[in-house]
Amino acid sequence: MYRWRVNDRGRETALEPQTAHASPMDAATGLVRLSGLVQAVYQRVSERHELTPVQARLLCVLLDGPRGMAELAGCFGVEKAALTGLMNRAERRGLALRSSVPGDRRAVQVTLTDEGREAALAFHAEMGQEMARLLAPLTEPDRERFRATMAEIVAACGTGHPC
């Protein structure tokens, strides 16, 4: 199994193969290192798709269907006003559209365009491949145990936001 290092630009680099005598790491250190690896992959895949990580996340959230601006602000943990810049850039690129909600003239919903849906699906597919690569050193039973454990942690702690 290879050890990975994330450089100051968010890129991961393979180091020498890890040996059986490598010292065990505690759970906190492991989670922080794993988080760094995942963030580096997310950054790299976003760049390959000519998206910022936040734009990629927006597109993936919208894959489930239209969302209100207030709901999206909750997803991203920002005020609605802060989401406006992100939406302006997404609309300029033809990735998403804002429209009024029938029956509520103050509410605005966001929907993916066809181009935005294609970009989101391509990004999501490549992220799935990259995450599978990260988990490749695990046996199938260990991958399933890891998946189940992550699901337990997320269910117990919640995500802190609706997305």
Q: Is 96 helix (H, G, I), strand (E, B) or coil?
A: strand
Same domain? 89 vs 102: yes
Number of domains in the chain: 2
User: What does the block give as tokens for 17?
Assistant: 């193969």
Same domain? 105 vs 163: yes
pLDDT digits 0-9 by tens, 23-40: 678 889 999 999 999 999
pLDDT reported for residue 161: 59
H or E element at residue 89: helix 80-92
pLDDT reported for residue 69: 92
pLDDT reported for residue 24: 78
Cβ-based neighbours of 71, under 8 Å, separated by 6 or more: 162
Q: Which of 11-15, 55-59, 124-128 has the lowest mean pLDDT?
A: 11-15
Q: Which domain holds residue 113?
A: 52-131+158-163
pLDDT reported for residue 21: 46
CA–CA dist 73, 120 (Å, integer):
19
Residue 147 lies in a domain: no
pLDDT reported for residue 104: 87
CATH number at residue 64: 1.10.10.10
Same domain? 104 vs 58: yes
pLDDT digits 0-9 by tens, 106-133: 889 999 999 999 999 999 999 999 999 9
Q: What is the mean pLDDT of residues 65-73?
A: 92
pTM of the model: 0.77
Same domain? 38 vs 79: no
For residue 74, how many C-alpha atoms fall within 13 Å in the half-sphere facing its CB? Answer: 10
Name beta bridge partners: 4.
14
CA–CA dist 151, 163 (Å, integer):
15
| Nearest to 60, CA basis, from 127, 11, 129 | 127
